[in-house]
Amino acid sequence: MLLIINRPFINLYLIPRINTEVSTQGMYGEAVTLITEKPNGWCQVQTADKETGWVKRNTLSQTDYQSHIYSVKGLFAHLYRSADTTISPPLMTLPFGAKIKLSETVDPLSRWFPILLVTGKKGWIQRGDIDFSPTPKPFSEIFSLARTFMGIPYTWGGTTSYGFDCSGFIQMLFKKLDYLIPRNARDQVNWEGFYSVEPSSLAPGDILFFGEGKIGHVGLYIGDGQFLHAGVRDGVHAVGISLLKKTNYTFISARRLRISSTLPLF
First-to-last C-alpha distance (Å) of the chain? 43
Give the phi and the psi of residue 13 in degrees, each rounded to 5: -90, 150
DSSP state, 79? E
Quote the longest CA-to-CA distance of the chain. 59
Q: Is 78 a catalytic residue?
A: no
**With helix as H, strand as E and coil as C, how does 159-221 read?**
EECCEECHHHHHHHHHHHCCCCCCCCHHHHCCCCCEEEECHHHCCCCCEEEEECCCEEEEEEE
Our answer to whether residue 237 is catalytic in this structure is: no
Which position among 43, 68, 229, 237 bears the catalytic label?
Answer: 229
pTM above 0.85, yes or no: yes
Report the SS3 class of residue 157.
coil
Q: Domains of the chain by range and CATH?
A: 2-61 (2.30.30.40), 69-131 (2.30.30.40), 139-257 (3.90.1720.10)
Residue of 43, 78, 217, 237 with catalytic role: 217
Per-residue pLDDT of the chain (266 residues; tens, 9 = 90+): 899 999 999 999 999 999 999 999 999 999 999 999 999 999 999 999 999 999 999 999 998 887 889 999 999 999 999 999 999 999 999 999 999 999 877 777 889 999 999 999 999 999 999 998 777 778 888 999 999 999 999 999 999 999 999 999 999 999 988 899 999 999 999 999 999 999 999 999 999 999 998 999 999 999 999 999 999 887 889 999 999 999 999 999 999 998 644 444 33
Active-site position among 43, 68, 78, 166: 166
Distance CA 109, CA 105 (A): 12
Q: Annotated catalytic, 43?
A: no
CA-to-CA distance for 190 and 205, rounded, in angstroms? 17
Looking at residue 117, its amino acid is L
